[in-house]
Chain A
Amino acid sequence: MSGSRRVQAPDQGPDRVVVTGIGVIAPNGLGTEAYWSATLDGKSGITRITRFDPERYPVRVAGQVAEFDATEHVPSRLIVQTDHWTHLGIAAADQALADAGITPAELPEYEMAVVTASSSGGTEFGQREIERLWSKGPGFVGAYQSIAWFYAATTGQISIRHGMRGPCGVICSEQAGGLDVAAQARRLLRDDATLVVTGGADASLCPYGLVAQLSTGQLSGRDDPGTAYLPFDVAACGYVPGEGGAMLVTEREQAALARGRSPYGVIAGYAATFDPRPVPGEPPRSNLGRAIIAALDDAGLAADQVDVVFADASGVPERDRQEATAISAIFGPFGVPVTAPKTMTGRLYAGGAALDLAAALLAIRDGVIPPTIGVIAQAPGCDLDLVGGTPRETPVRNALVIARGHGGFNAVLLVTAPRSTPGNGE
């Protein structure tokens, strides 16, 4: 099916949905440009866990956002009532709005919305309150626990902070959520919304949060940060968890151009599928391929028009093979450049695909595909043109991002280069 189809793009009109602002909080960089230059340099943010003593835990390395000081990014009143994960989300949203040149107070409050992805909620806050409950008693549990743990807390606090009272929401589909929310933003913008803050963040690197993640059996137990997370490699042994994410400002292309802003790119195609229930004794099946095809269809693009695939890159051998098989079936073996910059951050759950989406937009902007670090020898069944340890300079017009959430979620989103800039009178 590769390259055979050239269908009319349904989303080429002036109401196309574009991204005009990016904010990034990642283990290898605070702020979009810091993250992007670290990523192009192949600098990893994966280290031994320092947030607590990980010695007695089976997972001891992670992608931690080390330099983040909440007091520099979040008002005092908000710090006490929100989890670390919400602090990261608030900071990223502030960056994205500033990047987009948006002053929310000047815009109609009911036309602005916030839709973010969350996977763990506020586990660090929750652990602290549970410790108080057990050690001191119920009277010592803070009132803010009631709102801080909740998956929608980041959405809600960004909404309150910026007076965005439109159709807000949260999507919890693990790693897939970072793409699912961008698709929801596109839906809202095709309807009555004029501006949507979207993206995702997660930060669950406290003992309670880490133990909750262990139950999947998919995390890497390797101690060397350089080899703990090697997706598609013969030595793949699971993934490294990370914290952080990205927030994006989305609006209609016409509105962006009217404000004199050059968009980063267009949200051109999206599809989601769900994997079938595993059957005991049979190899697991995946509907990821169907999601890729449907997303291409939605964007009106043929497979051979895709310039790069940002892989989900599970790091779990079986899931790596599933993803590589789906990519090869549609683009051909070694048929499209594939990359996984998350080898430098670990998997950020709800923040991971949002960060990949940011990276895809920056790849379009700069004409460069970021590297995948650490991978030396691809595993049998992984016939991918993997962009290795150095970035690959090449024009990028259409970038496809894959995200697979634990439990069966598949999401695929295509971003394309902005066709027009404010200068050319379109």
Chain B
Amino acid sequence: MPMFTLDDVRRIMRSCAGVPDAVDLNSDIADVPFADMGYDSLAMLEMAAHVQQEFGIRIPDDAVEEMKTPQEAVDYVNRRFAGELQG
């Protein structure tokens, strides 16, 4: 059972970066690039900060480069939980 899910991404983006105009966050957004939903680099930093605060894990600033889509963000955070990533 993953600790971090797409619903967590939806909830965190909604609260810290707002809701996009063109895309329904409740639809299947797993592989829709954040950029295509209107989330810019500052929105990604906001998301990373919230995940760090809420889940108590560390996400380096440049890790947002590996999180171009919600699914990639979920995978990255869960690999962090699993201790698969260093730094």
The chain A residues found within 8 Å of chain B, CB to CB, are 75-81, 139-140, 142-144, 146-147
Contacts and interface: CB of A to CB of B under 8 A. Distances in A.
A143 B18 contact: no
Interface stretch (B2-10, B41-49, B71-79): B41-49
A79 B49 contact: no
Contacts of B16: 80, 142
A78 B19 CA distance: 9
A349 B28 CA distance: 47
Contacts of B33: none
Given A77-B21, A146-B42, 14 more contacts: A77-B17, A77-B18, A77-B20, A77-B38, A77-B43, A78-B18, A80-B18, A139-B49, A140-B49, A142-B16, A142-B49, A143-B42, A143-B45, A143-B49
- Sort chain B's interface into a size bin: 10 to 19
A140 B53 contact: yes
A407 to B, nearest CB: 33
B56 to A, nearest CB: 11
Of the candidates A78, A81, A139, the one having the most CB atoms from chain B within 10 angstroms of its own CB is A81
Interface in B14-38: 16-21, 38
Interface of B: 16-21, 38-39, 42-43, 45-46, 49, 52-53
Contact of B18 (A79, A140, A146, A147): A79
A139 B50 CA distance: 9
Would you list the 3 A-B pairs with minimal beta carbon distance, nearest first?
A76-B18, A77-B18, A76-B19
B58 to A, nearest CB: 10
30 contacts: A76-B18, A76-B20, A76-B21, A77-B17, A77-B18, A77-B19, A77-B20, A77-B38, A77-B39, A78-B18, A79-B18, A80-B16, A80-B18, A81-B17, A81-B18, A81-B42, A81-B43, A139-B49, A139-B52, A139-B53, A140-B53, A142-B16, A142-B49, A143-B42, A143-B45, A143-B46, A143-B49, A144-B42, A146-B42, A147-B42
Nearest to B42: A143
Contacts of B38: 77
Nearest to A144: B42
